[in-house]
Amino acid sequence: MENLTRQYSNEELRARFNPEGSLLWKHQQRMVELLLAFDAICKRHHIRYWLIGGTLIGAARHQGFIPWDDDMDVQMLREDYLKMIEILPRELDETMALQCRQTDENYFFQYAKLRDRRSVLDENNGYDRIFKERGIYIDIFPIDKHPKWLQRLSMQTIGHTYKILKRKDLQDEVIIGKVMRWVHLNERLIYPVMRGIAKLTGGAYLDAFGVPFVVERHLEDIFPLTTLEFEGHQMPVPGNYDKVLTDQYGDYMQLPDLDKVNLHVGKLEFKS
């Protein structure tokens, strides 16, 4: 618990968790490549997005990644998300791919991933084993307006999908069939009904149905966007990022217990 009573420099933290040349460092550098490509296309087409979650904490606290962080999250309004999933596949080079329900028939998440095609990432949860693209990625989350109770209900629908994926007594082909039948039921019946209810009742800006978070977003805290340094680049963040982070995490500038830091990644291979 020493780190709770002393301050560490970014250099000390990086020397401990992601020294230059380490596997995590290479992973992070590839995510930066993805982010810069994504950022360039979004700017060219006036698509608004911003850093969120641990990525935003990293920008505010470390001017880059949290040194032990092995993922990256961005967020956008639904209207920008729909524009993004139409444009990105046309403009990405062959080393990257947009993964979403429209581009990968076995992909079941209700948000997109921008994937690196020069790597293979085997995450500990094993959910991605049925996906077409399995490289390093950044998560791209849309937000919609609906009540919190409806968001919590939608989380139960995707929870059933996770239970199927965890079954060890079934082959992947059978699991894919079961998962996709449930996903199609959600998309064709359950989520449309929920959207209809949301139009009548209103609500807060939250993650899309099926995304396992209930974090309220306030547009007045997000817009107008500003920028923070992230790994040597100025990246878009909520205008009042301090309030956004404080509301969600409390004292986000305080380091956690470094001895309890966990990574998400299982195995990672670079093809080039």
Phi/psi for 9 (5° steps) reads -80, 160
Residue that wins the pLDDT comparison between 126 and 91? 91
- Give the pLDDT confidence score for residue 163 in this predicted structure: 81
- Give the pLDDT confidence score for residue 129 in this predicted structure: 80
- Give the pLDDT confidence score for residue 262 in this predicted structure: 76
Report the chain's mean pLDDT, rounded to a whole number: 92
- Give the pLDDT confidence score for residue 5 in this predicted structure: 41
**5 DSSP β-pair partners:** none
- Give the pLDDT confidence score for residue 132 in this predicted structure: 92
pLDDT confidence bin for 172, thresholds 50/70/90 = confident
Per-residue exposure over 171-201, b if at least 16 CB sit within 10 Å of its own CB, e if not:
eeeebbebbbebbeebeeebbeebeeebeee
* Least confident residue range of 39-53, 81-95, 205-219: 205-219
Residue 217 in this model has a pLDDT that exceeds 50: yes
* Least confident residue range of 37-51, 166-180, 236-250: 166-180
Question: Strand 119-123 vs strand 112-116: parallel, antiparallel, or unpaired?
Answer: unpaired
- The two three-digit tokens of residue 199, written as one number: 């139009």
pLDDT in tens, 187-201: 999 999 999 999 999
Residue 10 in this model has a pLDDT that exceeds 70: yes
Classify residue 155 by burial, with Cβ atoms within 10 Å: 0-12, 13-18, 19+: middle
Residue 230 in this model has a pLDDT that exceeds 50: yes
Rounded to whole angstroms, the Cα distance separating 83 from 77 reads 10
Q: What is the mean pLDDT of residues 60-86?
A: 97
Domains of the chain as residue ranges with CATH: 2-142+218-270 (3.30.460)
